Amino acid sequence: MTITTGVAARAVDASKVYGEGETAVHALRDVSADFAIGEFTAIMGPSGSGKSTLMHCLAGLDTLTSGRVFLGETELGLLTDKQLTELRRDNIGFVFQAFNLIPTLTAYENIVLPITIAGRAPDQSWVDGVIDVLGIRDRLEHRPSEMSGGQQQRVAVARALASRPAVIFGDEPSGNLDSNASAELLGFLRRAVDEFGQTMVMVTHEPTAAAYSDRIVFLSDGRIVDEMREPTAERVLDRLKTLEA
């Protein structure tokens, strides 16, 4: 299968079933979706809609029951655990909802961790740029326990950006933050897409967060039920209401 250039990640007929027989839960049912390079996509949907599962499968953290997922031109299902791990290390960035950082390492050590794990030297001018954009230069020698939640999440974003990955996956990255810190963080993610051309895929259930994206994919019952471009919080909220109804 040839992959159209300009697609950073893609799911083709992706299905994920937990359990067997009568008790089987279909988390994903034949989901096909493209995530374009340089685009900020939000995945939304009610609890149990399969949005997290889709993200985990796209990011190589989980495997499909059937169907295929690609990162660039690499089909993830064909990789060994080691290859998959190295792919995540070199080509994917993560921002989780909480517990993003290793408590024993300083902020800077956390930022360059995937690069150090790979045994490479960081691209210092790039990393410095990221640090300055995120405004965490004065926190570099601090441990996570000495930073606020917002600062910790910014360090996590810096880590995700540091190795210039093909895609950054966010799993409710602002879910644990107050509204100010949340807006600030989402603003940084937006800037990363606009200024660095970073591809971003974010799972969220908050309309205000989703409004920062270029495009929203709505999931329900393991299926893509809708898409929305250039969303605003109000439109998202309306759409969600009809979705849950």
- Which amino acid makes up residue 74? T
Helix (H, G, I), strand (E, B) or coil at 47: coil
Residue from 241, 238, 227 nearest 43 by CA: 227
> What's the min distance (Å) between Cβ of 239 and other proteins?
25
Helix (H, G, I), strand (E, B) or coil at 167: strand
Q: Is 22 in the site for other proteins (CB under 8 A)?
A: no
Q: Binding residue for other proteins (CB under 8 A) from 17, 36, 105, 237?
A: 105
Rounded to the nearest 5 percent, the helix, strand and coil shares of the chain are 40, 25, 35
**Which strands make up the sheet holding 167-171, listed edge to edge?**
92-95, 167-171, 199-203, 40-44, 215-220, 223-229
Under the criterion CB under 8 A, does residue 184 sit at the interface with other proteins? Answer: no
Figure out which of the listed residues 94, 108, 188, 212 binds other proteins, where binding follows CB under 8 A.
94
Q: Annotate each residue in 188-207 with x if it binds other proteins (CB under 8 A) or - if it does not, as one string.
A: --------------------
DSSP secondary structure of 98-142: S--S-TTS-HHHHHTHHHHHTT----HHHHHHHHHHHT-GGGTT-
Report in angstroms how near the CB of residue 86 gets to other proteins at its nearest. Answer: 7
Question: In whole angstroms, how close is the CB of 163 to other proteins at the nearest point?
Answer: 9
- Which of 30, 86, 123, 206 is close enough to bind other proteins by CB under 8 A? 86
Which one, of 72, 58, 39, lies nearest residue 189 by Cα?
39
Span of 18-26, 40-48, 82-90, 128-136 interacting with other proteins by CB under 8 A: 82-90
Total of residues contacting other proteins (CB under 8 A): 29
Output 15 or 214, the one with its CB closest to other proteins: 15
Contacts with other proteins, residue ranges (CB under 8 A): 56, 61-62, 81-82, 85-86, 88-90, 94, 96-100, 102-105, 113-114, 116-121, 159
